[in-house]
Every structure is written in C-alpha cells, then in structure tokens.
Amino acid sequence: NAGVTQTPKFQVLKTGQSMTLQCAQDMNHNSMYWYRQDPGMGLRLIYYSASEGTTDKGEVPNGYNVSRLNKREFSLRLESAAPSQTSVYFCASSEGGGAGYYEQFFGPGTRLTVL
C-alpha cells in the first residue's frame, strides 16, 4: 500500500497562474483533508471532505477550491496564485473524522513557491 500520495512534489508558479495539487489514498478512508504549513506555524486546515461527495471549508479556505473526485482522490486548486500561497501543502486522510477520534495519515507534501 502506498498510503497517501501527492503530486507534484515541487512546483514554482508565477503570480496569477493556476494549478491543481493532486492527492490519492489507497486505504479506503472516508475523510480527506488539505493543510498548509508555513515556517514557525502549525498546520492549518484549508478544506476537508468528510465523505465522498461532500466538502467543507477549514480555517484558511480563501483562494482555494477543492474537488472530491471519488473516494480515493481529493484535489486542491489554486485559481490565481499569490505569493502569500507559498507554502508546503499536505494532504491527509482518516477512516472517519467526527470528533477527531481517528488518526490522520499524511502524504509527503508539495512544496509550492509563487513568485
């Protein structure tokens, strides 16, 4: 099992460009998450999908959109990238998520730089 995979691993964008970060999990998990990690800060939740067919905003959703393509895949889209979106992006999944009683499994991250 590969666990949680993310593509690409690195990306450099110019301000205003768009891109989609891909995430897939092979653990048959119901819930999936997108976080960003900035220096000196913990992970901040961008969006999450409690189950296939649902998505909800997290702590910092502005400037992002998500799609839960199927149970395995959860993508994050930047429509018009800004330098403030320079960060490391992590995708995670969990068996469930209600009340946070399930551990989250993380992908290796995508390091994004917006010039």
Q: Give the nearest distance from C-beta 26 to another protein in angstroms.
A: 15
Q: Give the nearest distance from C-beta 80 to another protein in angstroms.
A: 26
Q: Pick from 11, 44, 75, 86 the residue near another protein by CB under 8 A.
A: 44
Q: From the DSSP assignment, how many helices (H) and strands (E) are in the chain?
A: 0, 11
The helix/strand/coil state of 100 is helix
Give the count of residues interacting with another protein (CB under 8 A): 29
Q: Give the nearest distance from C-beta 83 to another protein in angstroms.
A: 22
Distance of alpha carbon 61 from alpha carbon 113, whole angstroms: 18
In DSSP terms, which residues pair with 23 in a beta bridge? Answer: 6
Using CB atoms within 10 Å of the CB of residue 37, give its burial: 0 to 12 exposed, 13 to 18 middle, 19+ buried. middle
Contacts with another protein in 21-40 (CB under 8 A)?
Answer: 31, 33, 35, 40
Distance of alpha carbon 99 from alpha carbon 110, whole angstroms: 27
Nearer to another protein, 14 or 53 (CB): 53
* Contacting positions for another protein (CB under 8 A): 4, 31, 33, 35, 40-45, 48, 50, 56, 58-59, 90, 92, 97-101, 103-109
